[in-house]
């Protein structure tokens, strides 16, 4: 069951002027399931994205990059149930067929369509099914469909994920709404399977690229569930350009305000992915302080967050905390002086100067381990930098879900 | 249950002249369990070792390094149930107390004792219990105790691990016998918790260090169970010097013959650790061919062997083989051309040129997945080098064992 996460209240998700959403059902995995999403953009809209660094990136990811370079996007199309990854040249051809079909219906160039797929790898994309579902999706395009859109992109997710905010920027109200899907194969670069955040601000393209990278590095690139990096991860930021004067200065207060608001929405979505991690029963925040740079703090955070031995101990609520020290030890900091290191579980000082805190009592550790949300705080005591990683535990259900996933 | 692994027949384990073994019971975790092992060496014996690269290496690992540099070892002492890791300066003091107690009983310098511990991290070593058990262990020192020694170093291992061989080298019969323990927290550098191989050859110290590194790189450093690198991993190679003329030339046929025989014994032990991996139901050999160098082949092998999604699919006998491609894609080869890549499952060509083999049929993949021992063969088609990694699947019992380990 997801950790402190419920499906978003549709009433809480604000429509973003300049983007409409339509849902279809292609019957890719199950008949009748919502599994196709079309997002149509106003002419003024601009899109920036970050994608998986997996060398086996899916055909739609390859096409997205090319289309973003070639044209101004006018629509996005997402299918679940099939990743169109590990499908070679045939996979590219099929993804392009989807783009062509939607482009024809919307009367735009095929390069103006950005395709996305998520699901099983190494199986041919059922392109005819998807194309058949497109007219329905196009017919029900509407600004208020965010909750349905969040449902349409789910795979092994238990609950849908969406977040929304309104902020005052330069005397204007800017609306930000986003959706994401995750559940498994979750590790950074990108750390989510799919995430889409739209706002109605007007942002110059180079600044939009800065914004999406900034937000990703503080949200989807701070989470891990199983350490598996997906072939299809994509996080897209859309600025529909319907509100306000264009933001062109990265040093402006407007840029900073928009950046922070978008990052906050992205963080909510990224944390929702962890809360709904496959089989998750606990949500852990790993805060690594006192590092020399961010990369070493992240490396320690990920070593802890990814360790099956740490994750199974948390599942069992067993304060077997030496496993955290072992993970810190293999995080790859060659000159780490472990004798300077402190480890806290919430407010409990477990280890100090690299050894067990003499005042530490097992019952204090147990008290924290029994909680559903736990802070693991590591103080490296070698520099001024901190970083955070969010992760979940590793349960029987993780194995069950991933052993059964295709059946 | 271990995959095609049974406890060694004591009659198959040859005594190695120049080393005697004695077992004691300190009651560290359970009363009456064999949990202390002493190995006493002849005066002519030489010892070389490789150790974990975990920065949180245990106190006994630190002492082992220092003692190896300071004196010729005369005995080794191992306890299970407590790793003496994450224990700071107090941990060093306790490990040294064990050395001093054994040294006094054997009438040698304390630096001539090499200490080893394995078990729970972050808990104080029960040094009094261990010292109390030493006289019994010393009293029953005998050359034939290899099977009992293998039992005495077990923790979550289901069956004990030992292997033995006799080889003709330079007209002499050389005996090689080794023991190991593993089960969990298994990943290279070093990839085993503890391994000890002894032979009665006479080997110059620098060559012995070459031998142990060579054997480790082809055995314990080729396995992964959960990706967690231990704080205590140690692999020690002992040459008791009781047989033959001293090997002093690394280019000699004698050196090569001994090297290969020791490596074979170490491989048997390393594979036994994987076969007895926590919760393992399948044994997988990951062979990566056509790489530019060994490190990239190993990186691909480990990405596959460590992936929870690959491991749970094998547990389920589900040929969800796109997960293997995804793991290859995130193995870190920046310029990997996935369109050149072939993937085989045993003799079945699953993917070719980066996409699904058109002739691949799911039932062929299923036939292989149903087996208990499976070859995953990746052909990178970018160079002449190959490397092998051995791994196991990820089951409910992995979670169960590691959720319950301390209780």
CA–CA min distance A39, chain B (Å): 27
pLDDT tens profile B169-186: 989 999 999 999 987 666
- CA A353 → CA A314, A376, B86, B283, distances in Å? 23, 16, 9, 40
**Which of A326, A334, A352 is best to mutate for the B interface (most B CBs within 10 A)?**
A326
Q: B325 vs A86: CB contact, 8 Å cut-off?
A: yes
- CA–CA separation, B169 and B181 (whole Å): 29
- CA–CA separation, B317 and B323 (whole Å): 13
Q: Is A72 annotated as a binding residue?
A: no
CA–CA min distance A214, chain B (Å): 22
pLDDT of B187: 62
pLDDT of B2: 85
User: Per-residue pLDDT for A406 more than 70?
Assistant: no
Catalytic residue among A156, A192, A285, A391: A192
User: Per-residue pLDDT for B239 more than 70?
Assistant: yes
Backbone φ and ψ for B298, nearest 5 degrees, come out as -65, -40
Enumerate the residues of chain B whose CB falls inside 8 A of the CB of residue A350: 122
Question: Which is nearest to A336 in space by CA: A383, A295, A380, A288?
Answer: A380
CA–CA min distance B102, chain A (Å): 26
Which residues 6+ apart lie within 8 Å of B206 measured at CB? none
CB proximity B339 to A under 8 Å: yes
pLDDT of B185: 63
- CA–CA separation, B198 and B18 (whole Å): 9
Helix (H) or strand (E) run with residue B315 in it: helix B308-315
Q: Which residue in A has a C-alpha nearest to residue B402's C-alpha?
A: A312
pLDDT of B198: 94
Query: Which of A58-67, A394-403, B46-55 bottoms out in mean pLDDT, i.e. has the lowest?
Result: A394-403
DSSP A77: E
Residue with tokens 């783009």: A99
Residue with tokens 């429509």: A15
DSSP A170-202: TTEEEEEEEEEE-SSS--SSS-SSEEEEEEEEE
Half-sphere exposure of B87 (CA within 13 A, CB side): 27
How sure is the predictor about A4, in pLDDT bands with cuts at 50, 70 and 90? confident
- In which order are the strands placed within the sheet that holds B355-356? B223-224, B385-392, B283-291, B373-379, B342-345, B348-352, B355-356
Higher pLDDT, A222 or B137: B137
Helix (H) or strand (E) run with residue B161 in it: strand B161-169
Q: Which residue in B has a C-alpha nearest to residue A184's C-alpha?
A: B309
pLDDT of A136: 97
Nearest to A351 among B122, B331, B356 (CB): B122
3-state secondary structure of B280: coil
Half-sphere exposure of A348 (CA within 13 A, CB side): 20
Enumerate the residues of chain B whose CB falls inside 8 A of the CB of residue A86: 322, 325-326, 351, 354-356
Backbone φ and ψ for B305, nearest 5 degrees, come out as -70, -20
User: Per-residue pLDDT for A227 more than 80?
Assistant: no
Residue A203 tokens, joined: 């942002």
- CA–CA separation, A340 and A354 (whole Å): 6
User: Per-residue pLDDT for B70 more than 80?
Assistant: yes
CB proximity A333 to B under 8 Å: yes
Q: A120 vs B315: CB contact, 8 Å cut-off?
A: no
pLDDT tens profile A27-62: 998 888 999 999 999 999 999 998 887 888 889 999
- In which order are the strands placed within the sheet that holds B19-24? B19-24, B36-41, B75-82, B113-120
Q: Is B282 annotated as a binding residue?
A: no
Backbone φ and ψ for B21, nearest 5 degrees, come out as -130, 140
For chain B, give the mean pLDDT: 91
Q: A308 vs B398: CB contact, 8 Å cut-off?
A: yes
User: Per-residue pLDDT for A188 more than 80?
Assistant: no
For chain A, give the mean pLDDT: 91
Active site residue A229: no
> Cα B290 to the chain's mean position, in Å?
27
CB proximity A118 to B under 8 Å: no
Inter-chain CB pairs, A–B, below 8 Å: 223
DSSP A215-239: HHHTTGGGEESSSPPPSS-EEEEEE
pLDDT tens profile A309-335: 899 889 989 888 888 998 898 888 989
Which value does ipTM take for this structure? 0.78
Helix (H) or strand (E) run with residue B79 in it: strand B75-82
Percentage of chain A modeled with pLDDT above 90: 70
* A187 burial via Cβ count (<10 Å: 0-12, 13-18, 19+): buried
pLDDT of A320: 85
DSSP A32: T
* B406 burial via Cβ count (<10 Å: 0-12, 13-18, 19+): middle
pLDDT of A322: 85
- CA–CA separation, A370 and A373 (whole Å): 9
- CA–CA separation, A192 and B303 (whole Å): 19
Q: B327 vs A228: CB contact, 8 Å cut-off?
A: yes
User: Per-residue pLDDT for B192 more than 50?
Assistant: no
- Could you give the angle at which helices A308-315 and A322-329 cross, rounded to 10 degrees? 160
Domains of chain A (ranges plus CATH)? Answer: 10-275 (3.60.70.12), 283-404 (3.10.20.340)
- CA–CA separation, B406 and A312 (whole Å): 12
CA–CA min distance A30, chain B (Å): 18
Q: What is the mean pLDDT of residues B143-168?
A: 93
- CA–CA separation, B137 and A88 (whole Å): 63
How sure is the predictor about A190, in pLDDT bands with cuts at 50, 70 and 90? very low
pLDDT of B227: 66
- CA–CA separation, A194 and A77 (whole Å): 12
User: Per-residue pLDDT for A407 more than 60?
Assistant: no
CA–CA min distance A342, chain B (Å): 11
What is the Cα gyration radius of chain B?
22
pLDDT of B330: 85
> Cα B272 to the chain's mean position, in Å?
9
- CA–CA separation, B273 and B158 (whole Å): 10
Helix (H) or strand (E) run with residue A329 in it: helix A322-329
pLDDT of A185: 63
Backbone torsion region of residue A171, taken as left when φ is above 0, otherwise alpha when ψ lies between -120 and 50, otherwise beta: left
pLDDT of B406: 58
Segment 270-329 of chain B within 8 Å of chain A by CB: 306-309, 312-313, 315-316, 318, 320-323, 325-329
Q: Is A181 annotated as a binding residue?
A: yes
- CA–CA separation, B19 and B133 (whole Å): 20
- CA–CA separation, A227 and A392 (whole Å): 11
- CA–CA separation, B191 and B187 (whole Å): 4
Contact A38, A139 (CB under 8 A): no
Which residues 6+ apart lie within 8 Å of A308 measured at CB? A394, B226, B227, B228, B308, B394, B398, B402
Size of chain A in residues: 407
> Cα A396 to the chain's mean position, in Å?
24
User: Per-residue pLDDT for B190 more than 60?
Assistant: no
Q: A185 vs B336: CB contact, 8 Å cut-off?
A: no
Q: A354 vs B323: CB contact, 8 Å cut-off?
A: no
């Amino acid at each position: 069951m997801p950790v402190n996460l419920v499906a978003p209240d549709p009433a809480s998700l604000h429509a973003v002027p300049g983007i409409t959403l339509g849902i279809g059902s292609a019957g890719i995995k199950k008949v009748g399931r919502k599994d196709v999403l079309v997002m149509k953009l106003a002419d003024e809209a601009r899109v920036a994205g970050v994608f998986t660094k997996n060398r086996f990136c899916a055909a739609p990811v390859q096409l997205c990059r090319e289309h973003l370079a070639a044209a101004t996007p006018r629509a996005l199309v997402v299918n679940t149930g099939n990743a169109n990854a590990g499908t070679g040249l045939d996979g590219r051809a099929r993804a392009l067929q989807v783009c062509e079909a939607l482009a024809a219906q919307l009367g735009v160039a095929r390069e103006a369509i950005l395709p996305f797929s998520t699901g099983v790898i190494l199986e041919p994309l059922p392109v005819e099914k998807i194309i058949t579902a497109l007219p329905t999706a196009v017919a029900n395009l509407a600004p208020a469909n965010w909750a349905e859109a969040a449902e349409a992109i789910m795979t092994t997710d238990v609950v849908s994920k969406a977040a929304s905010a309104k902020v005052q920027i330069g005397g204007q109200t800017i609306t930000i709404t986003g959706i994401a899907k995750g559940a498994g194969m979750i590790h950074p670069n990108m750390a989510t399977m799919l995430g889409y955040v739209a706002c109605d601000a007007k942002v110059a393209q180079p600044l939009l690229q800065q914004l999406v990278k900034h937000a990703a590095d503080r949200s989807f690139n701070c989470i891990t569930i199983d350490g598996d990096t997906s072939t299809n991860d994509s996080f897209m930021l859309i600025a529909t350009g319907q509100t306000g004067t264009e933001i062109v200065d990265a040093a402006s207060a407007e840029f900073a305000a928009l950046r922070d608001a978008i990052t906050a929405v992205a963080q909510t979505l990224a944390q929702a992915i962890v809360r709904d991690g496959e089989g998750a029963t606990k949500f852990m925040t790993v805060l690594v302080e006192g590092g020399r740079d961010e990369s070493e703090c992240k490396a320690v955070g990920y070593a802890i967050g990814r360790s099956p031995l740490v994750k199974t101990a948390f599942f069992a609520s067993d304060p077997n905390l030496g496993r955290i020290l072992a993970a810190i030890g293999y995080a790859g900091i060659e000159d780490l002086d472990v004798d300077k290191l402190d480890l806290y579980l919430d407010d409990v000082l477990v280890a100090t100067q690299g050894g067990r805190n003499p005042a530490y009592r097992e019952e204090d550790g147990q008290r924290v381990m029994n909680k559903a949300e736990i802070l693991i705080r590591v103080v490296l005591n070698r520099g001024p930098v901190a970083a955070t990683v969010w992760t979940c535990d590793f349960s029987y259900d993780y194995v069950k879900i991933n052993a059964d996933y295709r059946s």
